[in-house]
Structure 1
Amino acid sequence: MDLVFRARRTITSAGEVARAVGVRDGRIVAIEPIEAELDAHTVVELGEDAVLLPGLVDTHVHVNDPGRTEWEGFDTATRAAAAGGITTIIDMPLNSVPPTVDVDALAVKRRTAEGKVHVDVGFWGGIVPGNADQLRGLHDAGVFGFKCFLLHSGVDEFPHLQPAELADAMGHLAGFGALTIVHAEDSEAIDHAPSAHGERYRDFLASRPRGAENLAIAQVIETARRTDARVHILHLSSSDALPMIESARRDGVRITVETCPHYLSFTAEEIGDGATQFKCCPPIREAANRELLWRGLSDGAIDCVVSDHSPSTVELKRFDIGDFGVAWGGVSSLQLGLPAVWTQARQRGHTLVDVVRWMAERPAALVGMRRKGHIALGYDADFCVFAPDEAFVVDAERLHHRNPVTPYHGRPLAGVVRGTWLRGHEITGNRPHGQLLTRGDA
């Protein structure tokens, strides 16, 4: 074999167990008791303080390349992902220029990424008014699904859909089994909320009320019910929506939902005046809401946890004036998702088996990846070596993100990623060997 891991703590479908894991030609070919005699060119033996996890899968990443590469870029984003134990990301169709709303733009995106990726990278397509004739072509070209907004996206080149346009698009995509993923906040509700302005976080929070999320999710549910489309709710922040999501599932609506580490880690009460590094949409809400999101994750109402890494330059966060109304909205956290979630999860009695389910298995299943997210025979040899009891304090300057701004700066976290392997090769950052994925090939 090319590589064997011997780990007293390995996360598999059997739970946390002692195993020897053998790799040949980039795939897992043996999972045996730890004492089994497996010969290999390279043997990695882990101590009791380290756990062998499958590489994580992050299906919600804004790489912003090409067009806004100064915000992030494929090289820095995938270095950060690897440093965080992530071996597969899917890039969002907006914040790059051009946005991925037609086949030509997808080709530009792939050419831009070629030779620069340290982890495997797939792509979402986008739904905007007027591009219905491009959706099947993007689907055939291998995007993993289609993203849309129900209110202004934050960038003018990716306009949002009206309710009738959403219904038309979902009906169209249902015809060939494509997944629709939705930024669900209601445009009219936001328009009638107080405007976002000034340094006080509570004023920004009032400008993005829970009701805007709840209304939009209700609309998505009923549209999915009518069209029989598969639909996924992005970055859930309002716990109020969980009962109707569960009710819809009982009725047979094919709906899944994600949340993000920042909604599970931070609370509105702790965000200080002018701290625009915390600004994101939908917003970080109150402590009671956070606990209900954790309950939803625990009981399966929430399917998975992904980053929604949405970086920008330091200047766009407007720390000079601290105004939440004009600062760019997005949390930069790609490298930190695993320790951020683990820090909170362990306090609530969860195990690494749970974290792997939320951050590897279910994201891979969401997008139909058949060889990612598990340590199992035939799967890609993607691994994260994680020290769950080691701690560190986040220093934004030492992260691999292009811009040193994150709400986690100065925050103590539990769990350190000691190494990441992609198809049996350790990711060192010296030579990119990630692949560009198409739907059905992973």
Structure 2
Amino acid sequence: MVEPFDVVFRAQRMITPEGSGSGAVAVRDGRIAAVEPVGAELTAAREVHLAADEVLLPGLVDTHVHVNDPGRSEWEGFDTATRAAAAGGITTILDMPLNSLPPTVDPESLQVKREVAAPKAHVDVGFWGGAVPENLGGLGTLHDAGVFGFKSFLLHSGVDEFPPLSSSELLSAMREVADLDALLILHAEDAETVDSAPGAGGGKYADFLVSRPRDAENLAIAQVLELSRQTGARVHILHLSSSDALRMIAAARADGVRVTVETCPHYLCFTAEEIPDGATEFKCCPPIREAANRELLWQALADGTIDCVVSDHSPCTPELKRRDTGDFGEAWGGVSGLQLGLSAVWTQARLRGYDLADVLRWMARRPAELTGLRDKGAIEPGKHADLCVFAPDEAFVVDAGDLRHRNPVSAYHQRTLSGVVRQTWLRGTRIDADGAPGGRLLDRG
């Protein structure tokens, strides 16, 4: 007798590594045990039949989330962040090492964060470590403790307890990372260029944009690529905004430099020309740039120069966004978009002729591959049964007050998006956003 499966999903449309088609997905012990034709005879304790307007997707993997917990949990927290992730079809997040107190820069601070996250996680959670001046030479202990890599800034991070690396310190970090065969992920903006640019104060978005020029990204990325070439270190460019850097990235990769690149939904959806003055919910660093720049980012996704799309969810309290004054210089920089990434990217992607398989390559498979999450990111036997039931043609209007993240601030407020997440499943169990947390903590490897 063949042991029954725990759950079987039957869908007239689902997205697998082979493409789009109908099928049945059988789950046993939290993993995908089989992918068969939709009418295959599969016995299970439970069957889930998708509606005609629904598509079965793999759970998304978001490798760039600022949860800010502990220490700044009034900005966000593992309970609210992972509820928002699940509501957006995301089943795995990687938490950034800064904005929490203490920052994740040694095994002890990592343990603090794990203890805070463990009872609150509604999705699976892994952690990045930080590479800061004070812990250089000791990154191996944090690597051994299970972080997925190391984040560094090349200019002030926005919080004093997570200082940037100088040029010489960046070289030292790369040599250490290369010896560990770890991954260094970088906020690449050049400090001197930003410091010499006009100030960001006031309510005009155009003035804020001038304060974070493309050259700041371009120069920092050029430095990162050259040092990666010298040391052999694996590097990842975070939240790419400047399309000017694409050509040098492609050339470096062709020369064997081990570089990967991400961008974010807000750079693919919004344009500088449409951001009203005083609308500080759109402030992020590097900034949202012009429409022509946005289209070049889309082209780079299509040709593979940009590897993936992740949220860079960086929330804060409403007061810190300074909507009362609309002053871009005073407002905290960060877009709260964790729950909306899939719908936002799909809305724009379909307008440009891309399909759901493209979106899932950028938002599920490639983030999982880049971070070594071998059990995540695709519907295929052996992977975790992390699944999303998605209605791609259903539209909705975003109400920031209805979102699951902690504070009702969103650049997407009152925006009409296409695609509704109706269910999210983690290892074969449906996530109840109002129920008990069922996520696990992940270590590298």
Q: TM-score w.r.t. structure 2 length? A: 0.98
Matched-pair contact (CA < 8 Å) for 1:103–1:134:
no
Identify which of 408, 414, 423 aligns with 1:410.
Answer: 414
**Is contact 2:137-2:176 (8 Å) kept?**
no
> Is residue 182 of structure 2 the alignment partner of residue 206 of structure 1?
no
Q: Find the partner of 2:155 among 113, 129, 151.
A: 151
CA-based RMSD of the aligned residues comes to 0.5
Matched, 1:6 2:13: no
Task: Pick one of 260, 263, 279 that aligns with 2:267.
Answer: 263
**How big is each residue's C-alpha offset from its partner over 1:100-134, in whole Å with a ceiling of 9 and x where there is no partner?**
00111000000111111000000000011120243
Cα deviations by residue, 1:250-300 (Å, 9 ceiling, x for unpaired): 100000000000000000000011000000000000000000000001111
Q: Once the two structures are superposed, what CA deviation does each residue of 1:341-398 show, in whole Å capped at 9, x if it has no partner?
A: 0000000000000000000000000101111001000000000000000000000000
Give the aligned partner of residue 77 of structure 1.
Answer: 81
Q: 1:97 aligns with which of 94, 98, 101?
A: 101
Q: Give matches, 1:33-52, under 5 Å.
A: 33-52=37-56
Is the 8 Å Cα contact of residues 67 and 96 (structure 2) preserved in structure 1?
yes
SS of residue matched to 1:415: strand
Structure-2 residue corresponding to 1:439 = 444
Report the alpha carbon displacement of residue 83 of structure 1 after superposing the two structures with TM: 0.1
Q: Deviations over 1:28-62 (max 9, x none)?
A: 00100001011111100112210000000000000
Of 118, 125, 145 in structure 2, the residue corresponding to residue 141 of structure 1 is: 145
The one-letter amino acid of 1:338's match is L
CA contact (8 A) 2:345 2:359 kept: yes
Please say if 1:368 is aligned against 2:369. no
Q: Provide the C-alpha distance between the structure 1 equivalents of 2:217 and 2:102, rounded to a whole number of angstroms.
A: 28
2:399 is matched with which residue: 385, 395, 398? 395
Given that 1:75 and 1:116 are in contact with CA atoms closer than 8 Å, whether structure 2 keeps it comes out as yes
Say which of 331, 343, 346 aligns to 1:342: 346
* Contact 1:101/1:134 (<8 A) preserved: no
Match of 1:227 in 2: 231
Distance 1:360 1:114 in 2: 23
**Tell me, what secondary structure is at the counterpart of 1:221?**
helix
Contact 2:391/2:419, CA 8 A, preserved across alignment? yes
CA distance in 2, matches of 1:183, 1:132: 17
Structure 2 CA distance, aligned partners of 1:13 and 1:257? 21
Gaps of 5+ in 1: none
Residues 73-103 of structure 1: CA distance to partner in whole angstroms, max 9, x if unpaired?
0000000000000000000000000000011
- Partner residue in 1 for 2:220: 216
Counterpart secondary structure, 1:2: strand
4+ residue runs of structure 1 moved beyond 6 angstroms?
none
SS of aligned partner of 2:134: coil
Aligned counterpart, 2:136? 132
State the distance in 1 between where 2:277 and 2:61 align: 34
Q: Deviations over 1:210-260 (max 9, x none)?
A: 000000000000000000000000000000000000000010000000000
CA distance in 2, matches of 1:115, 1:422: 16
2:310 is aligned with 1:306 = yes
Given that 2:103 and 2:130 are in contact with CA atoms closer than 8 Å, whether structure 1 keeps it comes out as yes
Q: How many residues align?
A: 440
Aligned mates of 1:206, 1:132 — CA distance in 2? 33
Structure 1 residue 352 and structure 2 residue 348: aligned?
A: no
Please state if 1:187 is matched with 2:191.
yes
User: What's the counterpart of residue 116 of structure 1?
Assistant: 120
Q: What code does the residue aligned with 1:373 have?
A: G
Post-superposition Cα deviations, 1:120-166, rounded to whole Å, max 9, x if no partner, equal: 00000001112024310110011000000000000000000001100
Q: What is the DSSP-based 3-state SS (H/G/I as helix, E as strand, rest coil) of the residue aligned with 1:106?
A: helix
- Cα distance in 2 for partners of 1:212, 1:195 equals 14
- Secondary structure at 2:221's aligned position in 1? helix
